[in-house]
Structure 1
Amino acid sequence: MTLSLDDLPARLQGLSPEELEILETELRARLWQRRWDRWTPYPWQVPPDHIETLGWWLQLGGRGTGKTDGCARYMVAHVNGPPCDPRLRGGHRMAIIAPTQGDAVEACVNGPSGLRAHDPRVVLRTTAGGTFARWPNGAEAKLFGAHTPDDVERLRAGGNRCLVWMEEVAAQRRLGEAITHSEMGLRIGPNPHYIASTTPKPRTELIALTRRPDVIRTQGRTRDAVHLPQEQRDKLIAKYAGTRTEAQELDGILLEDIEGALWSRDGLDTARVGAAPPLASVVVAMDPAATSTDDADEMGIIVAGRGAAYIPDRNGFARQHGYALDDLSGRMPPVEAARKAIKAYHEHRADAIVAEVNNGGEWIGAVVRQVDPTVNYRTVTASRGKQTRAEPVAALTDQGSAHIVGSLPELEEQLVTWVPGDSSPDRLDAYVWALTDLMLAPAGNLAAVA
């Protein structure tokens, strides 16, 4: 019997609510199957045959190579495969950990390469227990961030899982803690494991992952991502050809220490501490974008302190050590930058906000005083080159007297990849101003040495 489209409304009106629900479910399933069958993977998106228990499938790739797409596809296939625990509704309890929970929602669930692109039956639900991606059969993936201490605490209580997807591993601020606490919960089923996607950056934890025998790596290059327009690929490759940006951001190569850089990864790791001791002084250092209206560059905002105790450095010289406490840098308008610095000033009971004014930074003082006139604010002026200012601060790390507290990945990447002669980034500049103020400048005469 052939049914014309003209007859369809009448036929649908004749169905009971139960029959309509069955029809809708069947149509959704067929739509999902059609989408699923049309997907053609890149070679680097094809998962390994087997991943060890607590092991990893790590997708490294340049921009536009479908890393998120590959992981989303894997998770949907996992849900529709054998149950990890038949006692659970849907058979699976999973986790998605992204730089922030918002990133998990936007990229991993709702985005054009997220779970819903592969399985439109997925729904997003926020309850008292958290935010979840859920399937009709009851399987679920809980969404986490890895940016703040509160995010890590939520991971401690994140529950047991059979699969963890780590999205943009290299951009997760508290990556080490996120791995530790998620691993504690990988306890469901016969083979709990990780999948991960990232554009590589020289993070200590990421480098360590790539050296583990239970981590299987696949790698994709932007130049081979044929789903991207050829013109776009050609322009990106032409613009960044032969640079570190091409190797890392387009070819997906994990770069480690850079020849000529003043800081080394091993040096930062050796000096790293888990917590700061009692501090004698704290400053919030600001290095501005070129102008108050420039949103192309970052505003460097670094909080650092000088320890109260005199501790021997590697040369046996007893001195007060420096501690980088927080990195609040980012692209933001002037008022937001001032408010962020002022908030840090009060939270850390800082002695001053210190701002560099050579590069169009005169606006900082006016905005800071407008927002909070009680702040102790002072300026510094660079009379020497960036290398000359940075070298003594890098030497503090080599001597074991300058420390990063916990992990500040964006700052650390700038430190270990900046080579004198290149344009120095704003986080690095703010860090140099902070440590110079705390440890290298004669009292009351910072501008003279800056």
Structure 2
Amino acid sequence: MTVTDLRTRLAGMTGEELDLLESKLRAKVWQRKWDRWTPYPWQVAPAKVPTMGWWLQLGGRGTGKTDGCARYMVAHVNGPPCDERVPGGHRMAIVAPTQGDAVEACVNGPSGLKGHDPRVVLRTTAGGTFARWPSGAEAKLFGAHSPDDIERLRAGGNRCLVWMEEVAAQRRLKEALTHSEMGLRLGANPHYIGSTTPKPRTEIIELKGRADVVVTQGRTRDATHLPQAQRDFLVQKYAGTRMEAQELDGVLLEDIEGALWSRTRLDATRVGAVPPLVRIVVSIDPAAKGGDESDEMGIIVVGLGQAYIPDRNGFARRHGYILDDLSGRMSPEECMRKAAQAYHAWKADLVIAEVNNGGDWIGTTLRQIDPTVNYDTVTATRGKATRAEPAAAIFDQLAAHIVNVLPELEEQLVTWVPGDDSPDRLDACVWAITKLMLAPAGNLAAVA
């Protein structure tokens, strides 16, 4: 058949016939791509995941964790129906750190659902955002970052499969697990799949130890789809470090020998609500060289409690509360804008910033953005360990608390060992605790 003949035949088809043809062609394209996929060993799911159990992929960067879970979900949709009463036989959920992450990584991205099944369409309705298949099967997309995300998950409906993407990076992981589990009750074998670079969070450690959780683990050095030069560079750069073990080899590190903070201590002192406060500080630890966006800007909000509460030694004192972590990679202007917004949102008393490491730009930029902010500087005259140890001791005395969960900050606290370069979130947290609980009034430099 010539191209002209084909065009003539297509022109003579009805709309319904064209839709049917498109559907058949999409199915052939999908089948061709599906048959060509060769998984890594750690991307091979167990023959059957236990009911209410997990298949959990722990992997280094670039090991295809998202890819493996996306393929699993597509295979699930195209397998036997879990419940004949629902369209397509399947109602699933995807929970990611944010709903945007679920859209970008799990659906639209090169390793997402569309990469494995081009028939998937993304739809946003009054009921939420969904990945849908021609059969009617669907996966609803959720975030796990804000209280509103958790309320949506609470009302998320019954599901037969839940995919938790980047589990360890979910800010409200505990609540996300609780509410997704409540809705995991459709079909004869409802269960989870999970993909994450491991981080020392209580929930991840508990999951790894459960008998109904099947764990597979991949290493960046074995991810042969990545260029060899890139793998060699990463392995050589981080060889022998905790970064290599966690971020490249997918090893779940628990409490680190020599670390000033422990996961057990953070959990023991954690609180779920903000008490009445007498003072609040927004602390900034700038990236090197005044805002290189490849480095993080540390922005931590800490408050001093109003009540005098006995510490571990029975001494009544005001306790410190770590309220928020706004850190990230950003420009100097965005950093100052976030700090000013936090200052007003929390009704803070002061913004403080370290100026040793190229931070002289902070005061100028902050005053340009918001001259109403009360601002002061701190200058380090002692080593980082000398500054951090008294702040860590306050946690040991049960007098400092993280409010809810701040996973990125917590990871830095429990993995940093004196002698290593201290990360920006940790530094900002230490400055704030020092200002509120350790520094004599108006004399920060004396204890810096």
Q: By the TM > 0.5 criterion, same fold?
A: yes
Structure 1 SS opposite 2:73: helix
Contact 2:291 2:330 in 1 (8 A): no
Are 1:13 and 2:16 an aligned pair?
A: no
Report the residue type matching 1:270 in the other structure.
A
Find the partner of 1:394 among 392, 416, 421: 392
Structure 1 SS opposite 2:87: coil
Structure 1 SS opposite 2:428: helix
Partner of 2:245: 247
Are 1:307 and 2:313 an aligned pair?
A: no
> Distance between the aligned counterparts of 2:61 and 2:382, measured in 1?
37
Partner of 1:365: 363
Partner of 1:33: 31
Report the residue type matching 2:69 in the other structure.
C
How far did 1:6 drift?
4.2
Are 1:290 and 2:288 an aligned pair?
A: yes
How far did 1:235 drift?
2.1
Structure 2 SS opposite 1:206: helix
Structure 2 SS opposite 1:116: helix
Report the residue type matching 1:83 in the other structure.
P
Report the residue type matching 1:372 in the other structure.
D
> Distance between the aligned counterparts of 1:369 and 1:180, measured in 2?
44
Shifted more, 77-86 versus 9-18: the winner is: 9-18
Q: Deviations over 1:254-281 (max 9, x none)?
A: 1111111111111111111111211111
> Distance between the aligned counterparts of 1:253 and 1:369, measured in 2?
44
Partner of 1:145: 143
Find the partner of 2:133 among 124, 127, 135: 135
Partner of 2:152: 154
Partner of 2:97: 99
Shifted more, 320-329 versus 347-356: the winner is: 347-356
Partner of 2:277: 279
Partner of 1:75: 73
How does the TM-score come out when normalised to structure 1? Answer: 0.97
The number of residues matched between the two structures is: 448
> Distance between the aligned counterparts of 1:70 and 1:145, measured in 2?
20
How far did 1:224 drift?
1.6
> Distance between the aligned counterparts of 1:267 and 1:165, measured in 2?
30
Find the partner of 1:115 among 113, 116, 119: 113
How far did 1:14 drift?
2.4
Are 1:349 and 2:347 an aligned pair?
A: yes
RMSD over aligned Cα, in angstroms? 1.1
Q: Deviations over 1:291-331 (max 9, x none)?
A: 22411211110001111111111111111000000000011
How far did 1:163 drift?
0.6
Contact 2:319 2:400 in 1 (8 A): yes
Report the residue type matching 1:123 in the other structure.
V
Find the partner of 1:169 among 167, 170, 177: 167
Partner of 2:190: 192
> Distance between the aligned counterparts of 1:419 and 1:365, measured in 2?
31
Report the residue type matching 1:186 in the other structure.
L
What are the equivalent positions in structure 2 for 1:265-276 lying under 5 Å apart? 265-276=263-274
Q: Deviations over 1:397-442 (max 9, x none)?
A: 0110011111111111111111111111110000001001111111
Structure 2 SS opposite 1:154: helix
> Distance between the aligned counterparts of 2:386 and 2:421, measured in 1?
14
Identity of aligned residues (%): 77
Report the residue type matching 1:343 in the other structure.
Q
Structure 2 SS opposite 1:117: helix
What are the equivalent positions in structure 2 for 1:192-271 lying under 5 Å apart? 192-271=190-269
> Distance between the aligned counterparts of 2:233 and 2:378, measured in 1?
40
> Distance between the aligned counterparts of 1:68 and 1:293, measured in 2?
31
How far did 1:82 drift?
1.3
User: After TM superposition, where is structure 1 displaced by more than 4 Å over at least 4 residues in a row?
Assistant: none
Partner of 2:317: 319
Structure 2 SS opposite 1:90: helix
Find the partner of 2:401 among 376, 400, 403: 403
Structure 2 SS opposite 1:132: strand
How does the TM-score come out when normalised to structure 2? Answer: 0.98
